[in-house]
Amino acid sequence: MSSVFSAIENKIASLPVSLELVLPDGTHLGSPGSQVRMMVKDKASLMHLAAGQVGVIGEDYVEGKVDIDGSMRDLMRLAVAILPGSPVDAARGGWLTSLVQNLVSVWRHSIERDERQIQFHYDLSDDFYALWLDPRRVYSCAYFREPDMTVAQAQEAKLDHICRKLKLHAGERMLDVGAGWGGLLLWAAEHYGVDATGITLSKNQHAHVNRLIEEKGLGGRVRMHLLDYRKLDESVPYDKIASVGMFEHVGRAQLKGYFSKLRRLVRPGGLVLNHGITAGGIDNPELGSGMGEFIEKYIFPGGELTHISNVLATLTDGGLEDLDVENLRPHYARTLWAWSDALEARLPEARAILGGEQGERSLRAYRMYLAGCAMGFEHGWVALHQVVAQPISTGRADELDYPADLNYPWRRDYIYRPQ
């Protein structure tokens, strides 16, 4: 154990953030009054720290084996410094690993399991999420069209960015797959006049959005269903489809089926926009150093990421043609830091809302999750891609003449041109 102490002392001396470490026997390493103070209650946690297993240290914090004082921003700078290497490289495996992961992905994404996994995360507490999200509760990457935007302004800019990419027009039938608390669904209906249908597996979100629809008097052309995407009726196709922050829950082994379903749901010439988190590495199924396991255990059970190259490959296999691809990775880093800062500013209220021992564990998990994900996006370990697609062309000779039943023009001007 003395060698572990020595290794930790050497690390503390070279860290970009000052650290005071209190060991299980009461020994202090580092200087009092440091930016981060970490109280380690068992020797196993000390070993995790020495090995740079930051995800496992996060688990130890959630379980009360480690206590931490200091800002989350300083803590994440410390976490990056103690990593033994890139968490993207650390998570790579061989062909057998890939085969096993594919089988596991198939197994854990039944309709019943997906429903339980979604409700585990999104039905934690509406009041808790309302503490640190914007007033519309848009729980996905914002779009900072201007550098000085607040996160609430950037979320509205994101909603409009999506609507413009989809070229929404009044009277069109739009589907929002995984509609959350209704931000995009209601924005599209109120600002673009579409007939909008949303689906979710979260009971809390379903109830919340239906209350908003009634309050806004939109019942005639907006609806929200508690429904799995695989059960959507394909008999009357939609003009436009958006899927925002949802395909991470689909599972890599199901992506071809997911995109095939979207193709069958959209009319020929219609548009599909898929907005979701992608892996920073081509081969890694999750982040290493225990970070992927932390997210799976405490935040998003069943969540799976894949590289944008695989997204485009499976999208094509599913019968869709990619038209526009945009990486919003820096936007998500800023969004997540805004959420993290908002939660840190209201910790007493969050504790009162969540309540009890389990509530404290959830709060600790979310503190680590928001700041840790912000760190991951900053370093390019994960990314966020918006992909606009349409059903693959059948060789129409009139595509370049802007026929009425095709929506995608030759240039991107329509997305960025001031209105």
Contact present, 40 and 66 (Cβ < 8 Å): yes
Please name the amino acid found at residue 92. Answer: R
Contacts of 227 (CB under 8 A, 6+ apart): 199, 200, 201
Q: How far apart are CA 323 and CA 273, in angstroms?
A: 10
Starting at the earlier edge strand, list the strands of the sheet with 66-69: 28-29, 19-22, 36-40, 66-69
Crossing angle between the packed helical segments 2-14 and 43-51, to the nearest 10 degrees? 50
* 141 belongs to the catalytic site: no
Catalytic residue selected from 373, 374, 388, 406:
373
Region class of 64: left (phi > 0), else alpha (psi between -120 and 50), else beta = left
Of the candidates 305, 302, 309, the one whose C-alpha atom is nearest the C-alpha of residue 279 is 305
- Residue 32 corresponds to which tokens in the numbers above? 């009092």
How far, in Å, are 37, 157, 309, 352, 410 from residue 419 at the CA level? 51, 13, 33, 44, 19
Q: How far is CA 253 from the centre of its chain?
A: 19
Cα radius of gyration (the chain): 23
Residue type, 17: V
Give the C-alpha distances (Å, rounded to integers) separating 52 from 20, 49, 87, 134, 376. 16, 5, 11, 34, 15
Which positions are annotated as active-site residues? 373
